[in-house]
């Protein structure tokens, strides 16, 4: 006869499982991996500031920097190639400025959301930047506290956000 536990009792002492027989940890990991990750292109001509942006966005697991560009033309080319979910765009850039680059990006990658990140604070420039169809505008002096929030709002919302 049967000396040990019955099959039903054996099942009860096994680790907690989900219905499709994954362990809890496997389930949690799969759920995390399934979160949509926004693919981001950073356009900034000052290398140290690019690193600052990367580390700021790196605080969030649902944002991933997939490429960097250091001038306006390179930004348009990489947008066309990679079709990023979101582009963080400086305005004062070599070759083509950020506002002109944004107009061209709208033609080659119309689904990409654009958030400007510039030292410019004048209302005219902010208005011109947003008139390209951009989703956000962050002044660089506020980036440390506002950048992450504006990027996330731009990804999930439809109205332009400024900070």
Which parts of this chain interact with Ca ion (CB under 5 A)? Answer: 45, 90, 92
Distance of alpha carbon 102 from alpha carbon 135, whole angstroms: 11
Contact 41, 75 (CB under 8 A): yes
CA dihedral (139, 143, 145, 147) positive or negative: positive
Cβ 46 to Ca ion, closest distance in Å?
Answer: 6
Tokens representing 50? 């690019």
Which is closer to Ca ion, CB of 38 or CB of 101? 101
Give min distance, CB of 44 to Ca ion, in A: 6
Q: Which of 85, 90 has the CB closer to Ca ion?
A: 90
Least distance (Å) between residue 140 CB and Ca ion: 9
Whichever of 132 and 152 has its CB closer to Ca ion, that residue is 132
What is the distance between the alpha carbons of residues 163 and 112, in angstroms, rounded to a whole number?
A: 20
């Amino acid at each position: 006869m049967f000396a040990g536990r019955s099959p039903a009792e054996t099942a009860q002492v096994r680790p907690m499982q989900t219905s499709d027989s994954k362990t809890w940890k496997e389930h949690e990991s799969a759920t995390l991996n399934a979160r949509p990750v926004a693919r981001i292109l950073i356009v900034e001509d000052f290398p140290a500031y690019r690193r600052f942006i990367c580390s700021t966005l790196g605080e969030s697991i649902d944002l991933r920097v997939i490429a960097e560009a250091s001038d306006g033309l390179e930004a348009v080319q990489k947008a066309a190639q990679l079709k990023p979910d979101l582009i963080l765009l400086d305005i004062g850039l070599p070759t083509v400025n950020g506002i002109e680059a944004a107009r061209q990006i709208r033609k080659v990658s119309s689904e990409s959301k654009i958030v400007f990140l510039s030292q410019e604070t004048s209302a005219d420039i902010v208005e011109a930047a947003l008139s390209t169809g951009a989703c956000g505008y962050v002044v660089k002096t506020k980036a440390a506290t506002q950048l992450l929030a504006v990027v996330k709002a731009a990804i999930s919302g439809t109205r332009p956000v400024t900070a």
